[in-house]
A = this chain, B = another copy of it.
Amino acid sequence: MASLAEAEELDAHDPLASRRELFVGSDDPSIVAYLDGNSLGRPLRASATRLASFVPDAWGSRLIRGWDEEWFDLPLALGDRIGAVTLGAAPGQVAVGDSTTVLLYKLIRAAVDARPGRREIVVDTDNFPTDRYLVEGIAAERGLALRWIESDTRGGVTPLQLEAVLSDQTALVLLSHVAYRSGFLADVPALTTLAHGAGALVLWDVCHSVASVPIELDDWGVDIAVGCTYKYLNGGPGSPAFVYVRRDLHEQLVQPIQGWMGHAAPFEMGPGYAPAPGMRRFLSGTPSIVGMQALPDMVDLIDEVGMPAIRTKSETLTRFAIEAVDDWPASWGVEVATPREPGHRGSHVTIEHPAFERITAELWRRGVIPDFRAPRGMRVGLSPLSTSHVELFNGLEIVKQMLVRR
């Protein structure tokens, strides 16, 4: 039985337990359980300080000089740090800027143009909406076809499924590392190797995995990855996304949004676009420097504790969530829609019930904050650094009470 005593015991033995206090709101009695860090991570207290001091100490005092002194290089410097700490990426392969959607657009376009003659993009039916909508539009504008993998909404894409749709027509395979709905954790090395075997490029959307699941892009031979920074990287609402491009692909990939920040000589402002060498070519306009301010402290914290410890805590949390739900009477009809094998899931657990749509607003008012995904999924997001087992238990107890009362 998943009990409060067990939750307390797990917290007592959790080497990361003390880190929870580093986050704003961890002592706020009105928030019983924050279970949506997979949508928007909690801010570090250090980020409050950082944003407060940014105005007088950087923007307001360095003014335009800040661009020369720090901000111009920040998209690449911060990219390198995110790459080293969370992506298994050697320096010079990650840039920060734009939204996830815009980066995906630029890199999908660049990738399909780098495989001329191949007419297909492979994507799965349960990939995140932005990914699906983007490839629809790009396929239409580039005269390409989409090959859809029917993904299991309680699982994800398997090597067998991918193998069945790959061909010498496949230009690009677009997949998510952790499925936003089910939490399924894809086998990146196996799927990447299969795609490469067919001569295709692979773009991994790591939005729902980065900083909660160990990632080794260099070792896995990944071509391109795009991820967001406001979930487990706690960058704040709408903080800019990042893109990884394997070094030997830089010169081959030409992205379509030719802006001054991606130019080889941005301050010459001369005629004619010439892409910068390296990752800078994947930038377009002026990136959000204010939006990046919360990130360095979080990356430092992840670096300090290490991704293995984060993954261990994540597995303990997701296991405890599943155990707790398994204890509820079968007659209630709540179903776990996330893989039960810990190695096959990321850091959120989705449970399904027709009542969840109706009770989510009331849960939010009571300070229990998961999110709802139509038609009947409740996602219980478990941020390894800011979620405790007791918090999770207390949150699920209130979900349980509301199911009893309904």
Query: In the complex this chain forms, how many copies of it are found?
Result: 2
Task: Check: A164 CB closer than 8 A to any chain B CB.
Answer: no
A290 touches B237 (CB 8 A): yes
Q: Mark A365-382, 1 if CB is under 8 A from B, else 0.
A: 000010101100000000
A256 touches B137 (CB 8 A): yes
- Taking a contact as CB atoms under 8 Å apart, the answer to whether A285 and B55 are in contact is no
Chain B neighbourhood of A130, CB < 8 A: 259-261, 284-285
Residues on B with beta carbons closer than 8 Å to the beta carbon of A105: 256-257, 259, 284
A364 to B55, CA, bound (A): 19
Which A residues, 234 to 292, have Cβ-Cβ distances below 8 Å to chain B?
236-241, 256-261, 263, 266-273, 284-291
B257-A101 in contact (CB<8A)? yes
A110 to B21, CA, bound (A): 48
Contacts of A288 in B (CB 8 A): 99, 237-240, 288, 290-291
**Closest Cβ–Cβ distance, residue A208 to chain B (whole Å):** 13
Which of the 9-residue segments A24-32, A186-194, A306-314, A338-346 touches chain B? A24-32
- Expressed in whole angstroms, the Cα–Cα distance for A66 and B238 within the complex equals 12
Of the residues B134, B260, B285, B291, contact of A290 by C-beta under 8 Å: B291
Known contacts A237-B289, A286-B238: A63-B260 contact under CB 8 Å: no
Residues of B within 8 A of A285 (CB): 98-102, 130, 241
CB of A328 within 8 Å of the partner chain: no
Interface residues on chain A, size class: 35 or more
CA–CA, A300 and B25, complex, Å: 30
Best-buried of A24, A129, A261 by chain B (most CB within 10 Å): A129
Given known A-B contacts A60-B42, A63-B36, A101 and B286 have beta carbons under 8 A apart: yes
Whether A291 touches B238, Cβ cut-off 8 Å, given contacts A258-B137, A260-B129, is yes
Cα distance, A181 to B118, chains bound together (Å): 44
Query: Smallest distance from the beta carbon of A130 to chain B beta carbons, Å?
Result: 4
User: Do B64 and A36 have beta carbons less than 8 Å apart?
Assistant: yes
A212 to B198, CA, bound (A): 56
Chain B nearest CB from A139 CB (Å) reads 11
Q: Which of B34, B63, B129 contacts A63 (CB 8 A)?
A: B34
Apart from A51-B55, A129-B266, list 16 A-B contacts with CB within 8 A: A24-B59, A25-B56, A25-B63, A31-B63, A36-B63, A39-B64, A43-B60, A52-B55, A64-B371, A67-B237, A71-B237, A101-B260, A102-B285, A125-B271, A128-B269, A237-B290
Interface residues of A (CB under 8 A from B): 23-25, 28, 30-31, 34, 36, 39-40, 42-43, 47-48, 51-52, 54-56, 59-61, 63-67, 71, 97-102, 105, 125, 128-130, 132-134, 136-138, 141, 228, 230, 236-241, 256-261, 263, 266-273, 284-291, 293-294, 364, 369, 371, 373-374
